[in-house]
């Protein structure tokens, strides 16, 4: 691999003030040219146009993937079956804004949701809490995702029932973890002395299945809809992001949307050669082809982004972890394993393997120019944070020779550097949209439908007979159609 200085125009690209530096990808000019030409052959530019035009690119579910409409603050018409969806989107914005001005005396918010109905708002609530001087309502924000009652118990121990609001978030409103947790929280409100009217006031829902939320008992006025053309993992831009607006203000939520919208416009309009999501996708594809990489790490050098890799895992792996392409044919490449956590902490954990392990694992280093605090130590600490980030990338790329083989760094390990000017709602939105659009680009390059998740369903189906067998307390379960011999033995062991 040959690393050119990042000042080379082919290696430093800026969009929405976010800088992408690919100098340590080891991709030379001719190879980049080849990659862009391959992208054109794969009709990536046409795919991007189709994505924004609302074509049914989620073919298996026969619908568009139009999460971009949710952050289309300019309200440019977005047509689905000839009908502009923007008036409905804007109507939800206005209801969200009104709600932000209505809540008084709320001490606790319990957000119940899992997967895409959890990661986005949780990441944003956590990340924005670090923004110096951000206006916050200061409510305790609790996220209840797991069916494990440990989480539930911790939350109800901390919340004041009479001044709690509950937001049940589920696109389908059929997810067992969410509906069971919602029932448990309603029971807790009752047990804590809230009457029917108080419970009705406390309950809110965000869903694409309004009838199911009504049937659950959420009053019509407290249901915030979104639509089947929004994938769960792409839904933080809808009313799923309500906690962001309620805690930090509707203006902040709009800033978050504005950052994402700006990144969408860049993705939609910039030539492939200048297009950040496309360049990142092509770099990853190149590393798959040349080094057979099977995983990559995202390391934000910002504590505020500690939840980012978890959000990214669902985005990338649920979107693109597929074995067959759009035509049902086996794919050569699909999503690598994604992992990561905040630097520099990560350096003191698994970086040893990244430097000297036998596998090449590309890294996205994500750094923020400005320190995230106004502490007197902020500038000097931030300098050290950035130095660490730059040093790791350099060591990974160049390696180090030594007479003792144990001290040799092989080097030749590719990385990106993403530099945000600062971290606030706007740049958080831009960062998430950058990765969403990169995931879509990769899906297009691999010819994978990035917008369904059929593989998640089978395990859910199998859980039902297993739960029934556990509930029976029997210890003589035998293998059957849905329970194999190993699982039958495990059930019998648990039941005895």
Query: Is residue 379 left, alpha or beta, with left meaning phi > 0 and alpha meaning psi from -120 to 50?
Result: alpha
C-beta of 233: minimal distance to ligand F6P in Å?
Answer: 5
C-beta of 394: minimal distance to ligand F6P in Å?
Answer: 38
Q: Determine, following the binding rule CB under 6 A, whether residue 178 of this chain makes contact with ligand F6P.
A: yes
In 3D space, the residue among 63, 138, 73 whose CA is nearest the CA of residue 106 turns out to be: 138
How far is it, in rounded angstroms, from Cα 46 to Cα 480? Answer: 48
Q: Determine, following the binding rule CB under 6 A, whether residue 117 of this chain makes contact with ligand F6P.
A: yes
Q: Determine, following the binding rule CB under 6 A, whether residue 121 of this chain makes contact with ligand F6P.
A: no
DSSP 8-state assignment for residue 318: I
> Which CB atom, from 174 or from 387, has the smaller least distance to ligand F6P?
174
> Which CB atom, from 61 or from 303, has the smaller least distance to ligand F6P?
61
How far is it, in rounded angstroms, from Cα 494 to Cα 170? Answer: 31
Q: Determine, following the binding rule CB under 6 A, whether residue 286 of this chain makes contact with ligand F6P.
A: no
Site string for ligand F6P, 209-248 (x = CB under 6 A): -----------------------xx---------------
Return the CA Rg of the chain.
24
- Of 390-419, which residues contact ligand F6P (CB under 6 A)? none
38 is annotated as an active-site residue: no
CA separation (Å) from 11 to 196, 416, 417? 61, 10, 10
Among residues 318, 322, 355, 382, which one is catalytic? 318
Q: Determine, following the binding rule CB under 6 A, whether residue 171 of this chain makes contact with ligand F6P.
A: yes
Select from 419, 451, 453, 491 the one that contacts ligand F6P (CB under 6 A). 453
Q: Phi and psi of 110, rounded to 5°?
A: -110, 110
The residue range among 114-122, 145-153, 191-199, 353-361 that interacts with ligand F6P, by the rule CB under 6 A, is 114-122
What is the full DSSP assignment across 155-211? HHHH--GGGEEEEEE-SSS--HHHHHHHHHHHHHHHHTT--HHHHHHHEEEEES-HH
Q: Phi and psi of 296, rounded to 5°?
A: -145, 160
Q: Determine, following the binding rule CB under 6 A, whether residue 170 of this chain makes contact with ligand F6P.
A: yes
The packing angle between helices 276-291 and 29-41, to 10°, is: 100
> Which CB atom, from 457 or from 476, has the smaller least distance to ligand F6P?
457
Other CB atoms within a 10 A radius of the CB of residue 126 amount to: 17
C-beta of 232: minimal distance to ligand F6P in Å?
Answer: 3
The residue range among 115-123, 294-302, 374-382, 418-426 that interacts with ligand F6P, by the rule CB under 6 A, is 115-123
Contact 13, 19 (CB under 8 A): yes
Token pair for residue 313?
């895992």
How far is it, in rounded angstroms, from Cα 453 to Cα 115? Answer: 12
Coil, helix or strand at residue 142: strand
C-beta of 150: minimal distance to ligand F6P in Å?
Answer: 20
56 is annotated as an active-site residue: no
C-beta of 201: minimal distance to ligand F6P in Å?
Answer: 23
Among residues 2, 74, 220, 348, which one is catalytic? 348
Coil, helix or strand at residue 415: strand
How far is it, in rounded angstroms, from Cα 296 to Cα 307? Answer: 16
Q: Determine, following the binding rule CB under 6 A, whether residue 322 of this chain makes contact with ligand F6P.
A: no
How many chain residues interact with ligand F6P (CB under 6 A)? 14
> Which CB atom, from 178 or from 275, has the smaller least distance to ligand F6P?
178
DSSP 8-state assignment for residue 447: T
Q: Determine, following the binding rule CB under 6 A, whether residue 175 of this chain makes contact with ligand F6P.
A: yes
Q: Determine, following the binding rule CB under 6 A, whether residue 463 of this chain makes contact with ligand F6P.
A: no
286 is annotated as an active-site residue: no
C-beta of 323: minimal distance to ligand F6P in Å?
Answer: 18
C-beta of 171: minimal distance to ligand F6P in Å?
Answer: 4
Helix (H) or strand (E) holding 54: none
Among residues 75, 289, 329, 460, which one is catalytic? 460
Contact 109, 142 (CB under 8 A): yes
> Which CB atom, from 208 or from 418, has the smaller least distance to ligand F6P?
208
Handedness of CA 322, 327, 330, 336 (dihedral sign): negative
> Which CB atom, from 69 or from 205, has the smaller least distance to ligand F6P?
205
Q: Which residues bind ligand F6P (CB under 6 A)?
A: 114-117, 170-172, 175, 178, 232-233, 318, 453, 456
Query: Which residues have a catalytic role annotated?
Result: 318, 348, 460
């Amino acid at each position: 691999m040959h690393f050119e200085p990042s000042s080379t125009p082919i290696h430093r690209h800026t969009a929405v003030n976010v800088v992408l530096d690919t100098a340590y990808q080891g991709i030379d000019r001719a190879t980049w040219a080849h990659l862009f030409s391959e992208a054109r052959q794969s009709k990536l530019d046409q795919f991007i146009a189709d994505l924004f035009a609302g074509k049914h690119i989620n073919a298996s579910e026969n619908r568009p993937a139009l999460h971009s409409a949710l952050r289309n603050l300019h309200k440019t018409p977005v047509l689905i079956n000839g009908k502009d969806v923007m008036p409905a989107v804007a109507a939800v914005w206005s209801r969200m804004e009104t709600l932000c001005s209505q809540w008084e005396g709320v001490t606790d918010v319990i957000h119940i949701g899992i997967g895409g109905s959890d990661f986005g708002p949780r990441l944003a609530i956590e990340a924005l809490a670090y923004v110096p001087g951000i206006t916050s309502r200061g409510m305790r924000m609790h996220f209840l995702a797991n069916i494990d009652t440990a989480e539930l118990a911790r939350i109800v121990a901390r919340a004041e029932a009479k001044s709690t609001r509950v937001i049940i978030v589920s696109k389908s409103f059929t997810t067992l973890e969410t509906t069971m947790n919602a029932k448990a929280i309603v029971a807790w409100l009752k047990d804590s002395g809230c009457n029917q009217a108080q419970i009705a006031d406390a309950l809110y829902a965000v869903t694409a299945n309004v009838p199911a939320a009504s049937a659950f008992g959420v009053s019509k006025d407290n249901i915030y809809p979104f639509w089947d053309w929004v994938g769960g993992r792409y839904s933080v831009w809808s009313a799923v992001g309500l906690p962001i607006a309620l805690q930090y203000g509707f203006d902040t939520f709009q800033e978050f949307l504005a950052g994402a919208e700006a990144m969408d416009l860049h993705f939609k309009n910039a030539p492939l050669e200048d297009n950040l999501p496309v360049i990142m996708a092509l770099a990853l594809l190149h590393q798959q082809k040349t080094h057979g990489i099977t995983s990559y790490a995202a390391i934000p050098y910002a504590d505020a982004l500690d939840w980012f890799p978890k959000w990214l895992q669902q985005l990338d792996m649920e979107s693109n972890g597929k074995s067959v392409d759009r035509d049902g044919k086996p794919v050569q490449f699909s999503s690598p394993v994604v992992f990561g956590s905040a630097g520099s902490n990560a350096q003191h954990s698994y970086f040893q393997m990244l430097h000297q392990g036998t596998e090449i694992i590309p890294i996205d280093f994500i750094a923020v120019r400005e320190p995230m605090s106004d502490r007197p130590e902020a500038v000097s600490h931030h300098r050290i944070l950035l130095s660490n980030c730059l040093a790791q990338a350099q060591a990974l790329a160049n390696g180090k020779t030594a007479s003792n083989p144990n001290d040799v760094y092989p080097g030749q390990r590719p990385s990106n550097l993403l530099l945000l000017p600062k971290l606030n709602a706007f740049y958080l939105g831009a960062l998430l949209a950058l990765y969403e659009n990169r995931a879509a680009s990769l899906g297009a390059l691999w010819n994978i439908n990035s917008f369904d998740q059929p593989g998640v369903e089978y395990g859910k189906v199998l859980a039902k007979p297993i739960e029934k067998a556990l509930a029976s307390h029997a210890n003589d379960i035998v293998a059957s159609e849905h329970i194999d011999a190993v699982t039958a033995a495990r059930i019998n062991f648990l039941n005895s």
